[in-house]
Amino acid sequence: MLRRLLLGLLLLSFVSADFIPRNLDVFVTVNEDGTAYIVEQLDFLVTGSYHLSLYETGIPKNDLASWATLTGLNDVRYHVDSRVVDIQNQVIGPQPLSRCNPIEDTCYGQLIITYTAAPYYTDEGITEGTGVVFIDSYKPRTKQYILNSRAFVFEFSQKEDIILSEITTLTLEVPEGSVVVEVKPLPEDFGGLKPPFKEVSYSWSNTILPNFSFIFEKEGSLDSEITAFFLGFQGEVFSWLSGEYGLAIIILVAILLVSYFYLTRSRKGV
């Protein structure tokens, strides 16, 4: 029994050594509606003719479970928590082998995973605590977006701080025209600068993110505010008319209109 267990562990070590992770880039583009478009790009070295052939025959497969089994790599997964975000429109895109070295019998493989991360909804609206960001319309025409760090699934320290491994880069991208009012910790390339920032892209690599915080604001145009007002008013009217007292409201409005026209015509002596 012990011999079989050791043999199994040895085989697993060989499998994991034949697919060696090199880089993991996670790009999170936050949309104004609070959803996020996420691209995960995993580069890895494939060694040995058998595993090179295995990779090539697996390219038509477009499900994450198959590639997780084929490579044995822990990073072949979504790096968001499906309990916190609704993962939609997933596309699994294995890329052709590249940078091959026939002498060493190696090539590089790449897996690109794209999807939309949205909050969960109930009949009453967004489920509290879900989504990549929380939105607060705290003043007219301005929305504040607060990153929900619990939406992500990386390694965590004992203090529950996100740990980005030596091969991992996390990049956040905000809509054009946004103003970042808080970011902790600062990306390395920002040095000792202090917010507000108007850059679109922010990246962290091979680091710990203690008390990770990222907040930005986006001011809408006056036209968008007017449009939103009339759309909201239209929705309210429809809600009234389709509700319990809808018919009574319609009759009352009709009576008022008829009375108005009758009085107008009477004053003109018609």
Instruction: Please state, in angstroms and rounded to a whole number, the distance separating the CA atoms of residues 150 and 25.
Output: 19
Residue 223: per-residue pLDDT: 52
Residue 116: per-residue pLDDT: 98
55 φ, ψ to 5°? -65, -45
What is the share, in percent, of the chain residues with pLDDT greater than 70? 79
pLDDT tens, 13-27? 444 469 999 999 999
Residue 139: per-residue pLDDT: 85
Residue 222: per-residue pLDDT: 54
Q: What is the 3-state secondary structure (H, E, C) of 177-224?
A: CCEEEEEECCCHHHCCCCCCECCCEEEEECCEECCCEEEEEEECCHHH
| Rg, Å, the chain Cα set | 28
pTM of the model: 0.77
Instruction: Please state, in angstroms and rounded to a whole number, the distance separating the CA atoms of residues 181 and 195.
Output: 5
pLDDT tens, 146-169? 999 999 999 999 999 999 999 999
C-alpha 87 chain-centroid distance: 8
Residue 230 pLDDT greater than 50, yes or no: yes
CA distances from 247 to 27, 250, 254 (A): 51, 5, 11
Q: 150, 53 in Cβ contact below 8 A?
A: no
Q: 55, 76 in Cβ contact below 8 A?
A: no
Residue 192: per-residue pLDDT: 82
Pairing of the two strands 106-118 and 121-122: unpaired
Residue 100 pLDDT greater than 70, yes or no: yes
Q: What is the CATH number of domain 18-219?
A: 2.60.40
Instruction: Please state, in angstroms and rounded to a whole number, the distance separating the CA atoms of residues 220 and 106.
Output: 51
Residue 9 pLDDT greater than 50, yes or no: no
Q: What residues contact residue 217 under an 8 Å CB cut-off, 6+ apart?
A: 142, 143, 144, 145, 178, 179, 181
